[in-house]
Amino acid sequence: MSTRSFLRDDDLTPAEQAEVLALAAKLKAEPFDHQPLAGPRTVAMIFDKPTLRTQASFAAGIAELGGHAMLVDGTLAGIGKRESVADVTRVLDRQAAQIVWRTYAQANLDDMAAHSSVPVINALTDDFHPCQLLADLLTIREHKGELAGLTAAFLGDGACNMGNSWLLAGTTAGMHIRISGPDGYVPSDEMFARAGEIGATTGGSASAVGDPLAAVAGADVVITDTWISMGKEDEASTRRAVFGPWSVTPDLVAAANPDAIVMHCLPAYRGVEIAAEVIDGPQSVVWDEAENRRHAQKAIMTWLHEKARA
C-alpha cells in the first residue's frame, strides 16, 4: 500500500526527521493547538510485549490530538496465530486512522504495513524502537541545541533494538554514534553498514568501541538500556555475567565530557546497567525522555496523517 508508515528509524530521511523533531518541539510548546485526529479519529494500539511509557504516552498524545486511543488486546487478538497479520490488518484499517503495534518480529510489522491502507507505527520490535529515538533526539535538542556533530556513546547490549535504533536515527541526525558492549552484543555488520551509508550523507558516523572508557571519552551523551530486553529473560544469568564492565557508574560518566547528559529509555535496573547515583543524579535526563515520548509520537502521528492525506 502506498501510505507512509514508521517502521524503522531510517524510514525518515534526514530532512524529514528534522521536520518531525521541529513539529514535536512545537507541539510540546502548544499541546492543544493541533487537532489532526479531531472527530475523534481512532488510533488502534496493540501490545504483544509489556508496556508503561508507550501505552501511556500514545494514549495521552492521541487524546491531545483530538483522537481516540483504542486498545486492542494482543493476546485476545492472537495476531499471526488466530488470524494472519494480513487479515488482522484488513480489519483494523477499516476501523482506525493509524495502527500502533509493539511486537516481536520486525517482519510481522513489515507485513502489517504492506497490507495496511493506514499508517503503521513501530511501538518497539526486537529490532528497532524508533519512537523512543525521536523522543531521545528531541531531549538532546532541548539540552544541547544542535544534534549534528555531537558524540553519543551507547553502553551495554548494543545488539538490542535500542542499539540498532541509535545507529540509524543518530547518524540520520548527523551524530557520531559509538556502540560499546561485550563480544557478541554489538549490532550486525549490516546495521553498521547502513548507518555508515546514512552518515556519509549527514556527516555522522557509527563505530564499535569495545572499551567502555574509550567509548565515553569526549562523549556529549552517555546512553544505556537494560541488559535483558523483553523476550530475552531466559538469558538473564549469561548476560549478567558478561555486562558488568559496561555498567554506567559515576566513574564512567566522569570520563565523558563534563556537561554530558545521561539517557536511559527505561525501565531501569539501578545498580545493574546504571548506578542509582547516575540515573538519579544531575546529568540524568531520563524523565525528560519519558515525557518527550508523548510530544515526539504526537509529531510522527500528525506528520503521517498529513502524508496519508496528501
The binding site for ligand NVA (CB under 6 A) comprises 129, 160-162, 225-226, 229-230, 265
Pick 229 or 302: Cβ nearer ligand NVA? 229
Q: From the candidates 9, 48, 220, 225, which is the catalytic residue?
A: 225
Whole-angstrom Cα distance, residue 130 to residue 153? 18
Nearer to ligand NVA, 116 or 139 (CB): 139
- Please report how close the Cβ of residue 179 comes to ligand NVA at its closest, in angstroms: 13
Q: Which of 111, 265, 283, 297 is catalytic?
A: 265
CA dihedral (161, 164, 166, 168) positive or negative? negative
d(CA 123, CA 52): 12
- The nearer residue to ligand NVA, 228 or 255, going by C-beta atoms, is 228
- Residue 19: CB minimum distance to ligand NVA, A: 25
Residue nearest to ligand NVA (CB): 229
Question: Is residue 160 part of an annotated ligand binding site?
Answer: no
Beta strand pairing call for 120-122 and 151-155: unpaired
102 catalytically annotated? yes
102 is in an annotated binding site: yes
Closest contact distance (angstroms) between CB of 231 and ligand NVA is: 7
Q: What share of the chain is helix, strand, coil (3-state, %, to 5)?
A: 45, 15, 35
Instruction: Compute φ and ψ for 108, nearest 5 degrees.
Output: -70, -40
Residue 266 annotated as binding site:
yes
Among residues 17, 132, 283, 297, which one is catalytic? 132
Nearest to 178 by CA among 156, 160, 201: 156
Please say which residue, 32 or 269, places its beta carbon nearer to ligand NVA: 269
DSSP secondary structure letter of residue 186: S
Cell numbers for 276: 542509582
* Given the residues 41, 115, 129, 176, the one annotated as active site: 129
Count other C-beta atoms under 10 Å from residue 72's C-beta. Answer: 19
230 labelled ligand-binding = yes
Identify the active-site residue in 53, 115, 293, 295.
Answer: 293
Enter the C-alpha cell of residue 300.
510522527
Phi-psi region of 156 (alpha: psi -120 to 50; beta: other; left: phi over 0): left
Active site residue 129: yes
Could you say which DSSP state residue 96 is in? -
Nearest to 217 by CA among 178, 169, 245, 262: 178
Provide the minimum distance between the beta carbon of 266 and ligand NVA in the complex, in angstroms, as a whole number: 7
293 in active site: yes
CA distance from start to end of the chain: 15
Does residue 106 carry a catalytic annotation? Answer: no
225 labeled part of a ligand binding site? yes
The answer to the question of whether 250 is labelled as a binding residue is: no
Q: Is 160 noted as a catalytic residue in this protein?
A: no
Q: Does 132 participate in catalysis according to the annotation?
A: yes
Binding residues for carbamoyl phosphate: 102, 129-132, 265-266, 293
- By annotation, the residues acting in catalysis are 102, 129, 132, 225, 265, 293
Binding residues for L-ornithine: 161, 225, 229-230
